[in-house]
């Protein structure tokens, strides 16, 4: 083969893996943390609050934020519009399990002055001033529900899924102005920026509130795929349909609805969970195939009736130790979390937990921190031993847990 042709094929291959292994020097500059304190924000979905706790150590609570200070105004708008009211009630009675969803996701601004929150029941994103507790700005998403978010590596932009509009909005985190948007599959959910900020991945999960949960009815759930866009132009770069990849390894009865996902440190591998499955998959970006499957134990007390799984999630929550050696998995419907060795895929102790809904990494990288939505607490699990370290109480139905920053000395908004 001519050398020029070889070079061309290599360039194409490099483009297909989206250059996710670019040197660290090419990564977006991280925001300065001078004068700031690192914390964990815990979104209490049914409460409409966010607890701010220490990012490591004893995880003691530092303060609490009301993320629906404009609740009366929002409810007046909803009650005055029959269509908005129908969707509001549909969210309450389906994905909300009989409760309103007031906080899904949250990220602090680079200067630690505000926290940006997606509010599913109000179909919006708001910025809350951490000093006063007041709303800085509000962005109304397309459609009738806001979902998962992601913040760019430089902290300047936040992406939010508008789940009923099959759209992701990208906003300036300080002003709330939209800087771009792109189309997705049905019901966009998780968003992930690559380390260098060059690409943005969105995972669409389809209809998770229908009773058509049998494998042979999987086609009724909608068009589910990973959409990859250029994070500057928001033009589609690639679509990854896990249906084809699952079929290729003989897993035709498995859902292709990608839920929480996490990259390996070098971004050559993507680990992800899917609807109904007690476990996760490893996907190799260079070869474009699923390379390993990890099935985790079932809780004998958990029914195998898929219609009883909350929003089609058997397991929902995945994080990785910063050095890439361990994964932490939240076994939502099986009421446990466990640390898994990434090299061998051997799980550690099953740490009992009440409907764990998310998994993240502590500020010092030593612990996996899970939200126990059924017990209104967050629990830290030591990555090294796989053992539970401690639990701390938070508000009603904690879900997303995110690292962020507040000003040194901050203890909560002062009216």
Each residue's pLDDT tens digit, 361-405: 999 999 999 999 999 999 999 999 999 999 999 999 999 999 999
Contacts of 205 (CB under 8 A, 6+ apart): 186, 187, 188, 189, 224, 257, 258, 259, 275, 312
Instruction: Please choose, from the candidates 198, 347, 317, 315, the residue with its C-alpha nearest in 3D space to the C-alpha of residue 267.
Output: 198
Q: Which domain holds residue 54?
A: 38-407
Q: How many residues does the chain have?
A: 415
Mean pLDDT for 192-220 is 95
Q: Are 245 and 283 in contact (CB under 8 A)?
A: yes
Tell me the per-residue pLDDT of 39-56, one tens digit each, with 9 for 90 and over: 999 999 999 999 999 999
Strand, coil or helix: what is 259? strand
pLDDT band at 184 (very low <50, low <70, confident <90, very high): very high
**Number of neighbours of residue 341 by Cβ within 10 angstroms:** 13
How far, in Å, CA of 312 to CA of 306, rounded?
Answer: 7
∠ Cα 272 277 279 (to 5°): 55
**173 within domain boundaries:** yes
Q: What is the mean pLDDT of residues 54-82?
A: 97
Q: Give residue 18's pLDDT band: very low, low, confident or very high (50, 70, 90).
A: very low
Q: What band does 415 get if pLDDT is binned at 50, 70 and 90? A: low
Sign of the torsion formed by the C-alpha atoms of 181, 187, 190 and 195: negative
Confirm whether 325 is domain-assigned.
yes
Cβ 359 vs Cβ 337: under 8 Å = yes
Res 10: pLDDT: 38
Residue 29, classed as helix, strand or coil, is coil
SS3 label, residue 100: coil
Q: What is the pLDDT of residues 216-229, one digit of tens each?
A: 999 999 999 999 99
Name the pairing type of β-strands 226-230 and 199-204. antiparallel
In a domain, 10, yes or no: no
Instruction: Determine the pLDDT at residue 2.
Output: 41
For residue 29, is it within any domain? no
Total domains in the chain come to 1
Mean pLDDT of the chain: 93
Whichever domain contains 214, its CATH number is 2.130.10.10
Q: Say yes or no to pLDDT of 27 above 60.
A: no
- Domain membership flag for residue 123: yes
Asked, for residue 254, whether it belongs to a domain, the answer is yes
Q: Give the pLDDT band (50/70/90) at residue 28.
A: low
77 phi and psi, to 5 degrees? -65, -45
Closest CA to 192 of 140, 225, 228: 228
Backbone angles phi, psi at 179, to 5 degrees: -105, -10
Confidence band, pLDDT 50/70/90 cuts, at residue 29: low
Residue 366 domain flag: yes
pLDDT of residue 31: 76
Confidence at 33, pLDDT banded by 50, 70, 90 = confident
Q: What is the pLDDT of residue 9?
A: 35
Residue 276 domain-assigned (yes or no)? yes
- The tokens for 183 are 């189309």
Q: What is the mean pLDDT of residues 82-95?
A: 93
pLDDT at 19: 43
């Amino acid at each position: 083969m001519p050398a020029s042709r070889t070079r061309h094929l290599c360039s194409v291959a490099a483009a297909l893996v989206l250059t996710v292994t670019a040197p660290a020097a090419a990564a977006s500059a991280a925001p300065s943390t001078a004068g700031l304190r690192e914390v964990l924000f815990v979104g209490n979905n049914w409460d409409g609050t966010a607890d701010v706790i220490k990012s490591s150590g004893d995880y003691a609570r530092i303060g609490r934020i009301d993320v629906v200070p404009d609740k009366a105004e929002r409810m007046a708008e909803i009650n005055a519009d029959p269509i908005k009211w129908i969707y509001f009630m549909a969210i309450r009675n389906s994905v909300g399990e009989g409760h309103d969803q007031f906080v899904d996701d949250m990220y602090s601004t680079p200067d630690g002055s505000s926290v940006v929150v997606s509010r599913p029941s109000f179909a919006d994103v708001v910025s809350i001033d951490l000093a006063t507790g007041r709303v800085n700005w509000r962005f109304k998403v397309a459609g009738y529900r806001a979902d998962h978010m992601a913040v760019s590596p430089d902290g300047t932009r936040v992406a939010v899924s508008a789940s009923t509009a099959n759209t992701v909005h990208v906003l300036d985190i300080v002003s709330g102005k939209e800087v771009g948007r792109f189309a997705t599959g049905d019901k966009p959910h998780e968003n992930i920026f690559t380390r260098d900020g060059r690409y943005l991945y969105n995972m669409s999960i389809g209809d998770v509130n229908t009773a058509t949960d049998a494998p042979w009815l999987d086609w009724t759930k909608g068009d589910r795929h990973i959409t990859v866009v250029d994070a500057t132009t928001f033009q589609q770069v690639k679509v990854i349909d896990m249906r084809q990849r699952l079929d290729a390894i003989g897993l035709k009865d498995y859902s292709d609805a990608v839920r929480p996902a996490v990259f390996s440190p070098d971004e050559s591998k993507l680990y992800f969970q899917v609807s109904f499955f007690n476990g996760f998959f490893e996907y190799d970006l260079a070869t474009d195939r699923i390379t390993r499957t990890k099935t985790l134990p079932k809780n004998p007390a958990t029914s195998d009736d898929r219609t009883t799984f909350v929003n089609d999630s058997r397991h929902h929550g995945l994080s990785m130790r910063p050095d890439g050696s361990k994964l932490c998995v939240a076994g939502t419907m099986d009421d446990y979390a466990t640390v898994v060795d990434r090299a061998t895929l051997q799980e550690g102790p099953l740490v009992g937990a009440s409907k764990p809904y998310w998994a993240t990494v502590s500020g010092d990288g030593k612990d996996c921190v899970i939200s126990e939505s059924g017990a209104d607490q967050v629990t830290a699990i030591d990555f090294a031993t796989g053992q539970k370290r401690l639990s701390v109480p938070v508000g009603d139905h904690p879900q997303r847990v995110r690292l962020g920053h507040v000003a040194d000395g901050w203890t909560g908004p002062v009216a």
